[in-house]
A and B are shown apart, each in its own frame.
Chain A
Amino acid sequence: MTEVNQATAAEHGLSASEYDTMLSIMGRAPTITELGIFSVMWSEHCSYKSSRKWLKTLPTKGPQVICGPGENAGVVDIGDGLAAVFKIESHNHPSFIEPYQGAATGVGGIMRDVFTMGARPVANMNALRFGSPDHPKTRHLVSGVVAGIGGYGNCIGVPTVGGEANFDPAYNGNILVNAMTVGIAKADKIFYSAAAGPGNPVVYVGSKTGRDGIHGATMASAEFDDDSEEKRPTVQVGDPFTEKLLLEACLELMATDAIVAIQDMGAAGLTSSTVEMADKGGVGVELNLEKTPVREEGMTPYEIMLSESQERMLMVLKPGREEEARAIFEKWELDFAVIGRVTDSGRVMLKMKNETVADIPVAPLVDAAPIYDRPWEPTPTRAPVMASQSAEPENPLDALKQLLASPNHCSRRWIWEQYDHMVMADTAQRPGGDAAIVRIHGSERGLAITTDCTPRYCYAEPETGGKQAVAEAWRNLIAVGATPLALTNNLNFGSPERAPIMGQFVGCVSGIGAAAAALDFPVVSGNVSFYNETSGEAILPTPVIGGLGLVDDLAQTARVAFAEQDQAIVLIGTTAGWLGASSYLQEIEERREGAPPPVDLVVEKANGSFVREQIIGGAASSCHDVSDGGLIVAIAEMAMASGIGAAIEAPETGIPLHAWLFGEDQARYVLTTADPAAMLEAAEMCGVKASVIGQTGGESLTVGGIHTISVNELRGAHEAWLPEYMAAP
């Protein structure tokens, strides 16, 4: 047997002090299997050792929240006895190494988190960040990641209804693949992971265990170096077909009352599922590892415990219900094995053919997991960029066309057309709008879903960036007419061991917390992904927000497409012409500078509530929030989506025209209406800033009566970039 000492512990990523703590918990030299278990449980990925202190500051409560962070996914009440279960999760490192399988297994993992809780997944989203389009790896990564996400979601039959995709050189060596799943369950039939009932059988179901992905969790917690390619064999291969069977089988068994507790085997596989189930229930678990269904001969206890083979679940059943459960899993042609039982020892005891290979007290393993208060440095503040410091373009519509045809603003159609976004026949708003809407099956109500983050704001000013990400997600939900309910978040950062990076993290979390509290938009689940850096180059801080909202009546929603000719275009919110950290500055002037636009959460809330009322009351015929690229980009998107043109007039404000058009002031929306007078009056009553800025109609976009461009020309430029880029060698 392999000897365990300081050196083997270090190879497992445990520091000297962590190893000492482990020795004192065990009171003897640990076995290699025990070391493996400690190392994955204490990895950043499983223990949140660098982030926990800060995550605790986030608001997680609200009358709608049934279950906040801590379980497999968050749960919120959506009325009619139903609950939405949702979470987002990263699969960044595996996707960089093997884009297809990395992204595919990411989707598989997050869907298991959701159906483990008893919910049928109804929608998937994906937030992607790639390196510069010129980087030699980018095209291959985009192609593989998108195919992998589609390959898994399409097969399983859950629609992928939206997401984000951006390019920036900061992700050259470390792409981000964040996948989100939303499911629906009966509110009184949520399944949790706390094991209970000493003597109850512990059951393994799903695929067989192979040698794949051993040490995936520790990999997710280490930064890349030049020989990461050598670590390749740890990549897991997913089988969406088996996951579909597992989903159906689990839901079928969940319709009975045979299950006491259930937990998917995600990162760190059988180890984390066993330890977490025991810990949450305050009980012990004894497993007979030789009963584990294995794919290969001669697998050691260490390998069985650390394998990250996909499409597996661990359950505790009520006594005597094994055969009923077995019949269901056999019907779905899945493995089923009783591999152990719940005990009252408070220990995880693992045996292989009667020999004890691990015997660990659960509470100290979990409670003594290291927590760090890492040193952090605040990000230096930046000066704003005044509109006068930016040269006015000759024709702002040329700049608009250039922006719409740029990698970060062009249409994402090439991506979403590879995703089945309509299966389940409940997609009421397809990708391409502000938020997607899926109908709650069998009703006329719906869930609105979005993901958002503007990393360049987060980099410039983490706290503002964190607030803005939440505000934009909230705004996207409002813009379709939904009531925002709650959010999930995926915090993607560089190494927490570097104070400036930790400072970005602290700032973003603080901004997220402030915005979530102010907007009654609690955090119910999330994921942290650190060490997103290569050879010391960190990614932009990227705290992706996944937002969920409720639509009470699908007939009372709005879309981005202009609804009709000759309607008034109303701008909600205040325009100062804020160009700092804007898309305009970055893409047109190639300047990455300036403070990002401030986020006023009080105004944000007032404007959003007003806009939502205008939509559900039927006054607004279309709606789009103003985000990246500013007002004119929002209007162009509304025009391109409908084929209807618009004529815009800037009011007399003294703001240079280009700043008025491209500034990224927050809390703004564009609405169209047949009755602008009524809308302005209503706005005034609510103290909301609103003004008529133009009229829909024709087939061109015209600004100030001088500059004009055809909607078709804009659309051609907007649609062309991504397919052309991907078709190039």
Chain B
Amino acid sequence: MKSAVIVFPGSNCDRDIAVALERASGTAPAMVWHRETSLPAVDFIVLPGGFSYGDYLRGGAIAARSPVMRDVEAQARAGVPVLGICNGFQILTEIGLLPGILMRNAGLKFICRDVYVSVADNRTAFTAGYAEGQVLRIPVAHNEGNYFADDETLDALESNGRIAFRYTTPDGAVCDAGNPNGSARNIAGIFNENCTVLGLMPHPERVVDPAHGGTDGAGMFTGLVEALAQ
């Protein structure tokens, strides 16, 4: 799997995702600086977590207007899978590849801890490494992860199977107790119409190695490698 990681000024999970991708695929991703105007030919694109442009104005807002994003958008529209993690998810909503927006956490504080999310559907490239309904323990680390969209959009996401991950309790219940940030309908991650673009707040790249104290994120990358090989 040939992949590219886009690096913005202020990205800070770019190395982490590169390590996870290399671990899963055996190949180091191309690190692409935000001022580039075109991407190398790749099978997969990642927008990493971090604080691009310090999260000033709105998380991801300024990064979404970077030169490189025009090509990212074009490739996404052409069907190249794109994954946005945390700040990457914010960028995907800001550029309009995913609907809605990530607002300030309901508790108004930065949250860094393990959360539980359930896998809605394992028929996408991103979730092929998991079982349907599987509950994963993955950390979040964000200030603005409170997913918001109007009811119509939320209904459409729901009825088209585009909610990729929902926050749950450890035993998989979707309820307020499992919701760390106030996200509408416990949304932790969503797909675009074709399930080729995924944005999610939790950081799967932080749990791929036993030394991390958990490996529930590894399935996303091994699943992707396998799915994209076909």
Given known A-B contacts A425-B212, A439-B211, A241 and B112 have beta carbons under 8 A apart = no
Tell me if B53 is interfacial: C-beta within 8 Å of chain A: yes
* Distance of A572 Cα from B209 Cα, bound (Å): 33
Tell me if A430 is interfacial: C-beta within 8 Å of chain B: yes
Tell me if B216 is interfacial: C-beta within 8 Å of chain A: no
* Distance of A157 Cα from B112 Cα, bound (Å): 13
Q: Looking across the interface, which residue of chain A has its beta carbon closest to that of B51?
A: A155
* Distance of A239 Cα from B54 Cα, bound (Å): 8
Given known A-B contacts A418-B110, A423-B141, A428 and B211 have beta carbons under 8 A apart = yes
* Distance of A411 Cα from B20 Cα, bound (Å): 32
B51 touches A154 (CB 8 A): yes
Query: Which residues of the other chain, B, contact A333 by a CB distance below 8 angstroms?
Result: 9
A422 touches B10 (CB 8 A): no
Tell me if B205 is interfacial: C-beta within 8 Å of chain A: yes
B214 to chain A, nearest CB (A): 10
Tell me if A554 is interfacial: C-beta within 8 Å of chain B: yes
* Distance of A652 Cα from B22 Cα, bound (Å): 59
Query: Which residues of the other chain, A, contact B16 by a CB distance below 8 angstroms?
Result: 423-425
Tell me if B123 is interfacial: C-beta within 8 Å of chain A: no
Which one, A155, A244, A425, contacts B206 given CB within 8 A? A425
Given known A-B contacts A147-B109, A430-B213, A439-B211, A425 and B205 have beta carbons under 8 A apart = yes
Which one, B15, B112, B208, B213, contacts A417 given CB within 8 A? B112
Q: Looking across the interface, which residue of chain B has its beta carbon closest to that of A430?
A: B213
A647 to chain B, nearest CB (A): 28
* Distance of A564 Cα from B206 Cα, bound (Å): 26
Which one, B53, B56, B110, B212, contacts A420 given CB within 8 A? B110
Q: Looking across the interface, which residue of chain B has its beta carbon closest to that of A243?
A: B54
Tell me if A332 is interfacial: C-beta within 8 Å of chain B: yes
A244 touches B10 (CB 8 A): yes
Query: Which residues of the other chain, A, contact B139 by a CB distance below 8 angstroms?
Result: 422
Query: Which residues of the other chain, A, contact B212 by a CB distance below 8 angstroms?
Result: 422, 425, 427-428
Which one, A418, A424, A444, contacts B111 given CB within 8 A? A418
Tell me if B50 is interfacial: C-beta within 8 Å of chain A: yes
Which one, A157, A421, A425, contacts B50 given CB within 8 A? A157
Query: Which residues of the other chain, A, contact B20 by a CB distance below 8 angstroms?
Result: 425
> Which of B10, B20, B208 gathers the greatest number of chain A CB atoms within 10 Å?
B10
Tell me if A267 is interfacial: C-beta within 8 Å of chain B: no
* Distance of A333 Cα from B20 Cα, bound (Å): 29
B109 touches A241 (CB 8 A): no
A421 touches B112 (CB 8 A): yes
| Chain B at the A interface: SS class | mixed
Tell me if A156 is interfacial: C-beta within 8 Å of chain B: yes
Interface string of A138-162 (1 = CB under 8 A from B): 0000000001001100111100000
Query: Which residues of the other chain, B, contact A423 by a CB distance below 8 angstroms?
Result: 12-13, 16, 49, 141, 206
A705 to chain B, nearest CB (A): 33
Query: Which residues of the other chain, B, contact A428 by a CB distance below 8 angstroms?
Result: 211-213
Tell me if A419 is interfacial: C-beta within 8 Å of chain B: yes
Tell me if B65 is interfacial: C-beta within 8 Å of chain A: no
Tell me if B80 is interfacial: C-beta within 8 Å of chain A: no
Given known A-B contacts A418-B112, A428-B211, A430-B213, A155 and B203 have beta carbons under 8 A apart = no
Give residues of chain B (49-89) contacting chain A, Cβ–Cβ below 8 Å: 49-51, 53-56
B106 to chain A, nearest CB (A): 13
Tell me if A240 is interfacial: C-beta within 8 Å of chain B: yes
Give residues of chain A (424-482) contacting chain B, Cβ–Cβ below 8 Å: 424-428, 430, 439, 444
Tell me if A251 is interfacial: C-beta within 8 Å of chain B: no
* Distance of A242 Cα from B13 Cα, bound (Å): 17
B112 touches A420 (CB 8 A): yes
A157 touches B51 (CB 8 A): yes
B109 touches A154 (CB 8 A): no
A417 touches B205 (CB 8 A): no
Tell me if A245 is interfacial: C-beta within 8 Å of chain B: yes
Q: Looking across the interface, which residue of chain A has its beta carbon closest to that of B52?
A: A241
Query: Which residues of the other chain, B, contact A418 by a CB distance below 8 angstroms?
Result: 109-112
* Distance of A48 Cα from B57 Cα, bound (Å): 42
Q: Looking across the interface, which residue of chain A has its beta carbon closest to that of B209?
A: A425
A241 touches B111 (CB 8 A): no
B174 to chain A, nearest CB (A): 22
Tell me if B19 is interfacial: C-beta within 8 Å of chain A: yes
A241 touches B141 (CB 8 A): no
A422 touches B109 (CB 8 A): no
A554 touches B12 (CB 8 A): no
Query: Which residues of the other chain, B, contact A420 by a CB distance below 8 angstroms?
Result: 110, 112, 141
Given known A-B contacts A422-B206, A423-B16, A425-B212, A241 and B9 have beta carbons under 8 A apart = yes
Q: Looking across the interface, which residue of chain A has its beta carbon closest to that of B56?
A: A241
Query: Which residues of the other chain, A, contact B209 by a CB distance below 8 angstroms?
Result: 425
B58 to chain A, nearest CB (A): 14
* Distance of A421 Cα from B16 Cα, bound (Å): 14
Give residues of chain B (135-167) contacting chain A, Cβ–Cβ below 8 Å: 139, 141, 143
Which one, B9, B15, B54, B203, contacts A422 given CB within 8 A? B203
* Distance of A485 Cα from B19 Cα, bound (Å): 29
A360 to chain B, nearest CB (A): 38
B15 touches A424 (CB 8 A): yes
Q: Looking across the interface, which residue of chain A has its beta carbon closest to that of B113?
A: A417
B36 to chain A, nearest CB (A): 12
Which one, B12, B110, B213, contacts A156 given CB within 8 A? B12
* Distance of A660 Cα from B49 Cα, bound (Å): 50
Interface string of B108-134 (1 = CB under 8 A from A): 011111000000000000000000000
B54 touches A155 (CB 8 A): yes
Q: Looking across the interface, which residue of chain B has its beta carbon closest to that of A431?
A: B112
The 6 closest A-B pairs by CB, nearest first: A157-B12, A241-B54, A425-B16, A155-B51, A420-B141, A420-B112
- In addition to A423-B12, A424-B15, A425-B205, 15 A-B residue pairs with Cβ atoms within 8 Å of each other are A154-B110, A241-B9, A241-B10, A244-B54, A333-B9, A416-B112, A417-B112, A418-B112, A419-B112, A422-B141, A422-B203, A424-B12, A425-B208, A426-B211, A430-B213
Q: Give 11 A-B contacts (CB < 8 Å), ordered by A residue.
A: A147-B109, A151-B110, A241-B9, A417-B109, A420-B141, A422-B139, A422-B203, A423-B16, A424-B16, A425-B206, A425-B208
